[in-house]
Amino acid sequence: MERSFKEEVAKLKLGEGETFHGEAILAVTKALLQSGVAYVGGYQGAPVSHVMDVLNDARDILDGLGVHVETNANEAGAAAMLGASINYPMRGAVAFKSTVGTNVASDALSNLASAGVKGGALIVLGEDYGEGSSIIQERSHAFAMKSQIWLLDPRPNLPKIVEMVEQGFELSEASSTPVMLELRIRACHVQGSFRAKANRAPAVSKRNMLENPDFDYGRICLPPATYAQEKQKIEVRWPAAVRFIRERRLNEFFYGERKDLGILCQGGLYNAVIRALQTLGLADAFGNSKVPIYCLNVTYPLVPEEITEFCRTKKDVLIVEEGQPAYIEEAVLAALRRADLNGVRVRGKDVLPLAGEYTGEVVLSGIARFLSRETAIAPIQDLKKKAADLLSGIPARPPGFCVGCPERPVFSAMKVLEKDQGKFHLSADIGCHLFSTLPPFNIGNTVLGYGLGLASNSAVHPMFGKRTVTVMGDGGFWHNGLTTGIANTVFNRNDGILVIMKNGYSSATGTQELPSSPQHSEVKEDISMERALEGIGVGWVRKVDNYRVGEVAKTLKEAMQTDYKGLKVIVAEGECQLERQRKLRPVVAKNLAEGKRTVRVKYGVDEDTCTGDHSCIRLSGCPTLTIKDNPDPLRRDPVATVIDGCVGCGLCGENAHAAVLCPSFYRAEVIQNPTWWDKLISRFHGTPVH
């Protein structure tokens, strides 16, 4: 695991009246326990990975309360787990990244929403939209409308978020409907505090078990019950939810003196709105606004009475709704039309952009336009222009693999092979390995979702004269690649090459455990990827050590050229370097502190041999392999150099060997706490000794 949450786990124990300080996403975990949740599940992914990570580190507290925690194989499994709340009065919560996770979960969510729930069911969504997002830009809102699931979007402020978790469970129970809580990236990471309550041990739990199952045909998602369930959604659950939202005042009205104006915003955008009003001199530092604000902490369902009440006396109302399409704006317009309120002018996507994140600047610009105060944004625009002018000469700096990453060598091997065989189509997958699409590799033509690489290659392959390649991580393999990709290819008797990056963890999300993580497969040989492949009927499997670039290239070439028809799988092995360093560093530190001798390998470039053509860099992209001025006064081009930070993976040397580059790389052993013998030898060899 990337991070240890010892400190955060302690906060989960806070009792009545104590103060919780910290990140919002961690406040959610505490709020779950305060709500008497019986089981929690989910799938890792920013910005909500920490929910699961913290709870996994807090097993003893949870065991004490009788709360069950499960690391689901994917979001579909997590959503299905909420099925426990259909028949039993148990509260359950799951967390995943959205919209991707909600996509994967959507079938189980449809069935869950149709059946309805007895115990409150809360789905914590990390709404990964806008700047900093790593996925396709869509809104989770559509799922709420599709399945009639309620959607909370609290003001990014810890007490409000905690309250909405608690109220969310009650809303869920009052309307027999699952509830989603969407938290944007910034909301997840906002820091603050709230007054904690004591944790509640759930009524039904691991310590207080169910004796008898509940059989109710009306709760099974099969016809004819499904027809009745659909009617119930509209006739019973929806009105119940609207009633609950009104009675509990989940949405907030902030009054202001400009009664002819109003801003209606998604709760999650409230901070940006109030900041913009402050900048325009229409709000003070304590959040008192001159323009009335209707803040939707529940963005679905809307409460038509509240909307008409807010808009009735106003001339102009601005809707601040992030992303497309403008669901809320349309619903508000329809509500106003139905109520025959034609006097109010509704602005929204005409002054704010349809697509993209509503950052402070964007909201400020929109509100300024709404209030005809365009001049207020001029200074910002000037500043931006100046910055753009200054930055224009600098090349883009795309993300790349970590220093010593075991996935980089595989792409080096592919690049070596490309030179030999020409370019081939590569279907990429979700994971660190997707960095291959960026310079210096530019390998990878499409990405169609987590675990879907091989499936996305299935119509490409038959259209090509030569073989195509798919790359998939072990994370994607267990998420759904084994069924959607491998089973699919074996079943259809397709040809193809699959490279599985076996780095041992779900690494891009923070090295969470997988079924084939070393702690499972190497120690106990419990769940093995290779045996699963064999069991499913893959006839051609090769294992390679990623750092042996020449070997990897040879195996890839063999897969390209073999007469074997059918799926060819190359398991590319190399444990995540971050995880290795995490294990190694404390040991080295301890050894050094104890004065023990330690040897660290580091690579370097002999500057006299370096030809200065930098092929080695174009085959690697390692952040520690860079250039410096040529020390030779007769040569002008910079030479390659390995800077500090090198972890000694050896890729640069391997590449030089496999691609027959100039023989300028050397391997050095840095000896710390040298013995007298080391010192003696060093005198002879001139080895640098620290």
Partner 1 sequence: MERQFTKEIESLRLGDGETFHGEGILAVTKALLQSGVSYVGGYQGAPVSHLLDVMVQAKDYLDELGVHVEACTSEASAAAMLGASINYPARGAVTWKSIVGTNVAADALSYLASAGVMGGTLIVLGEDYGEGGVVAQERSHAFALKSLMWLLDPRPNLATIAAMVERGFELSEASNTPVMMELRIRACHVRGSFTTRRNVAPAVSTRNRLDGPPKEFIYDRLAHPPATFRQEKLKSDVRLPAARRFIMDNKLNEVFDGGERELGIVVQGGLYNGLLLALKTLGLADAFGASRIPILALNVVYPLVPEEISAFFSNKKAVLVLEEGQPEFIEQEIATVLRRADVQARLHGKDCMHMAGDYNVEALVRGLTKFLARNAPHLSTASGSSWLSAVQRTKESAAQLLGALPMRPPTFCTGCPERPVFSAMKLVAQDIGRPHVSMDVGCHCFGSFEPFSQGNTLLGYGMSLASAAGVNPMSSKRAVAIMGDGGFWHNGLLSGVASNLLNKGDGVLVIMKNGYASATGTQELLSSPPEDARMVALGQSAAGADRTIENTLTGLGVKWLRTVNNYKVGEVAKVYKEAMQSDYKGLKVIVAEGECQLERQRRLRPEVAKKLSKGERHVRVKYGVDEDTCTGDHSCIRLSGCPTLTVKDNPDPLRRDPVATVVDGCVGCGLCGENAHAAVLCPSFYRAEVIQNPTWWDKLWNNARSPS
Q: Which is nearer to partner 1, 101 or 650 (CB)?
A: 101
Only one of the segments 17-25, 451-459, 593-601, 619-627 lies at the binding site for partner 1 (rule: CB under 8 A); that segment is 451-459
Question: What is the Cα 329 distance to its own chain's centre?
Answer: 28
| Alpha-carbon distance values, 595 to 58, 662, 680 (Å) | 36, 39, 18
- Count the site residues for partner 1 by CB under 8 A: 149
Single out the residue of 77, 126, 475, 504 in contact with partner 1 (rule: CB under 8 A).
77
Only one of the segments 7-15, 480-488, 559-567, 574-582 lies at the binding site for partner 1 (rule: CB under 8 A); that segment is 480-488
Q: What is the CA radius of gyration of the chain?
A: 29
Give dist(CA 557, CA 569) in Å, integer. Answer: 13
Token duo for residue 5: 């949450």
Q: Which is nearer to partner 1, 38 or 649 (CB)?
A: 38
Residue 265 DSSP code: E
Single out the residue of 81, 171, 402, 616 in contact with partner 1 (rule: CB under 8 A).
81
Nearest distance from C-beta of residue 126 to partner 1, angstroms: 15
Beta 298-300 vs 150-152: how paired, if at all?
A: antiparallel
63 contacts partner 1 (rule: CB under 8 A): no
Interface residues for partner 1 in 534-593 (CB under 8 A)?
A: 534-537
Single out the residue of 59, 243, 249, 337 in contact with partner 1 (rule: CB under 8 A).
337
26 contacts partner 1 (rule: CB under 8 A): no
Buried b / exposed e over 213-229, threshold 16 CB at 10 Å, is eeeeeebbbeeebeeeb
Interface residues for partner 1 in 178-217 (CB under 8 A)?
A: 204-206, 209-217
Q: Which is nearer to partner 1, 225 or 588 (CB)?
A: 225
Residue 673 DSSP code: S
Question: What is the Cα 473 distance to its own chain's centre?
Answer: 15
Buried b / exposed e over 17-47, threshold 16 CB at 10 Å, is eeebebbbbbbbbbbbbbbbbbbbbbbbbbb
Single out the residue of 76, 263, 274, 282 in contact with partner 1 (rule: CB under 8 A).
76
Q: Which is nearer to partner 1, 526 or 632 (CB)?
A: 526
Question: What is the Cα 279 distance to its own chain's centre?
Answer: 32
| Alpha-carbon distance values, 301 to 102, 109, 148, 380 (Å) | 18, 17, 8, 37
Phi-psi region of 286 (alpha: psi -120 to 50; beta: other; left: phi over 0): alpha
Residues 328, 332, 333, 339: what is their CA dihedral angle, to the nearest 10 degrees?
160
Q: Which is nearer to partner 1, 158 or 514 (CB)?
A: 514
Nearest distance from C-beta of residue 487 to partner 1, angstroms: 5
Closest CA to 335 of 355, 351, 319: 319
470 contacts partner 1 (rule: CB under 8 A): no
State the DSSP H helix or E strand holding residue 318, giving kind and residue range, or none if neither.
Answer: strand 316-320
Nearest distance from C-beta of residue 688 to partner 1, angstroms: 41
Token duo for residue 195: 């007054």
Nearest distance from C-beta of residue 351 to partner 1, angstroms: 13
Q: Which is nearer to partner 1, 474 or 654 (CB)?
A: 474
Give dist(CA 489, CA 453) in Å, integer. Answer: 12
226 contacts partner 1 (rule: CB under 8 A): yes
- Identify each DSSP E strand in 566-655 by its residue range: 567-573, 598-605, 625-628, 639-642
59 contacts partner 1 (rule: CB under 8 A): no
Q: Which is nearer to partner 1, 122 or 196 (CB)?
A: 122
Q: Which is nearer to partner 1, 41 or 504 (CB)?
A: 41
61 contacts partner 1 (rule: CB under 8 A): no
What binding mask, one character per residue, do residues 102-121 give for partner 1 by CB under 8 A, x or -?
xxx-xxxxxxxxxx------
| Alpha-carbon distance values, 134 to 71, 127, 153, 528 (Å) | 22, 11, 21, 30
Single out the residue of 222, 587, 601, 643 in contact with partner 1 (rule: CB under 8 A).
222
Q: Are the C-beta atoms of 649 and 547 separated by less than 8 Å?
A: yes
Token duo for residue 126: 């990390």
Nearest distance from C-beta of residue 376 to partner 1, angstroms: 25
Closest CA to 22 of 189, 219, 246: 189
Q: Which is nearer to partner 1, 128 or 607 (CB)?
A: 128
Q: Which is nearer to partner 1, 138 or 654 (CB)?
A: 138
- At which residue do the structure tokens 């949870």 appear? 62
Token duo for residue 258: 């400009």
Q: Which is nearer to partner 1, 107 or 382 (CB)?
A: 107
Annotate 354-368 with three-state secondary structure. CCCCCCHHHHHHHHH
Only one of the segments 36-44, 381-389, 583-591, 608-616 lies at the binding site for partner 1 (rule: CB under 8 A); that segment is 36-44
Q: Which is nearer to partner 1, 276 or 455 (CB)?
A: 455
Q: Are the C-beta atoms of 123 and 79 separated by less than 8 Å?
A: yes
Handedness of CA 531, 532, 536, 538 (dihedral sign): negative
618 contacts partner 1 (rule: CB under 8 A): no
Single out the residue of 12, 84, 180, 298 in contact with partner 1 (rule: CB under 8 A).
84
Single out the residue of 195, 243, 384, 466 in contact with partner 1 (rule: CB under 8 A).
466
Single out the residue of 448, 617, 670, 681 in contact with partner 1 (rule: CB under 8 A).
448
Closest CA to 348 of 316, 377, 320, 307: 320
520 contacts partner 1 (rule: CB under 8 A): yes
Q: Which is nearer to partner 1, 255 or 491 (CB)?
A: 491
Only one of the segments 27-35, 241-249, 450-458, 642-650 lies at the binding site for partner 1 (rule: CB under 8 A); that segment is 450-458
List of residues 6+ apart from 267 with CB closer than 8 A:
152, 153, 154, 155, 156, 160, 251, 295, 296, 297, 298, 299
527 contacts partner 1 (rule: CB under 8 A): yes
Interface residues for partner 1 in 145-184 (CB under 8 A)?
A: 145-148
Nearest distance from C-beta of residue 129 to partner 1, angstroms: 9
Kindly give the residue spans of alpha helices, DSSP state H, lying in 280-407: 304-311, 327-338, 360-370, 378-391
Partners of 93 in the β-ladder: 40, 122
Give dist(CA 169, CA 187) in Å, integer. Answer: 20
Kindly give the residue spans of alpha helices, DSSP state H, lying in 42-157: 49-57, 59-65, 75-81, 84-87, 100-115, 141-147
358 contacts partner 1 (rule: CB under 8 A): no
Interface residues for partner 1 in 233-262 (CB under 8 A)?
A: 233-235
Only one of the segments 461-469, 499-507, 594-602, 642-650 lies at the binding site for partner 1 (rule: CB under 8 A); that segment is 461-469
Closest CA to 106 of 150, 151, 143: 143
Nearest distance from C-beta of residue 589 to partner 1, angstroms: 32
Q: Which is nearer to partner 1, 155 or 479 (CB)?
A: 479
Nearest distance from C-beta of residue 302 to partner 1, angstroms: 11
Only one of the segments 277-285, 457-465, 580-588, 637-645 lies at the binding site for partner 1 (rule: CB under 8 A); that segment is 457-465
Q: Which is nearer to partner 1, 104 or 571 (CB)?
A: 104
Q: Which is nearer to partner 1, 133 or 507 (CB)?
A: 133
Nearest distance from C-beta of residue 99 to partner 1, angstroms: 6
72 contacts partner 1 (rule: CB under 8 A): yes
Q: Which is nearer to partner 1, 210 or 378 (CB)?
A: 210
